[in-house]
Amino acid sequence: MEQKITTYLWFDHQAEEAATFYTSLFPGSRIVSVQRHGEAGPGEAQKVMMVEFELAGQRFLALNGGPQFTFTEAISLYVNCESQEEVDALWAKLTEGGEESQCGWLKDRWGLSWQIIPRQLPELLQHPDPATAQQVMKAMLGMQKIDIGALRAAAGE
């Protein structure tokens, strides 16, 4: 079944590079298609105009639209991670050339914001004991990359 809503990402001129990088990070990901400008434009003939790609079953479109628009933290890609190893690996690769932020957020080298979140974080934040949940929140607020062990320690596990 075709995906009804697709995230559309605007790049200056790095759409293909970004899509290739992103698809290398997640198993089962791939470049679906690359569209190039023709003689009629609007860009230089044969230059990449748009890349359709899939990350872990989710479709995206990346446009080489020029420098008019850039990414902000107002939108991010949330990655639900199964382990600390997955958090660590994605964090290392996505922050290369980018920048770390707080509470599991980062910006990649193109300025796109990501949240690299272990599945244990929302579970611990919804702990039945409100005091425990608050201790987990306090621990998380002091982190850049999320540390599952430190979260569990804050929860008294």
Same fold, 1-69 and 71-157: yes
Give the model's pLDDT for residue 115. 98
What are 15-20's contacts with CB under 8 Å, separation 24+?
15/48, 15/50, 15/51, 15/62, 15/63, 15/64, 16/48, 16/51, 16/62, 16/64, 18/62, 18/108, 18/110, 18/112, 19/51, 19/53, 19/60, 19/62
Could you tell me the fold of the domain covering 71-157? 2,3-Dihydroxybiphenyl 1,2-Dioxygenase; domain 1 (3.10.180)
CA-to-CA separations, 110 to 71, 102, 142, in angstroms, rounded:
8, 18, 25
Confidence (pTM) = 0.93
Q: Find the DSSP H helices in the chain.
A: 15-25, 84-95, 120-125, 130-141, 148-154
Domain ranges of the chain: 1-69, 71-157
Q: Which of 100, 127, 105, 108 is nearest to 116 (CA)?
A: 105
pLDDT in tens, the chain (157 residues): 678 999 999 999 999 999 999 999 999 999 999 999 988 878 788 899 999 999 999 999 999 999 999 999 999 999 999 999 999 999 999 999 999 999 999 999 999 999 999 999 999 999 999 999 999 999 999 999 999 999 999 999 8
Contact yes or no for 34/48 (Cβ under 8 A): yes
Could you tell me the fold of the domain covering 1-69? 2,3-Dihydroxybiphenyl 1,2-Dioxygenase; domain 1 (3.10.180)
Contact yes or no for 104/146 (Cβ under 8 A): yes
Give the model's pLDDT for residue 32. 97
pLDDT tens, residue by residue, 6-49: 999 999 999 999 999 999 999 999 999 999 998 887 878 889 99
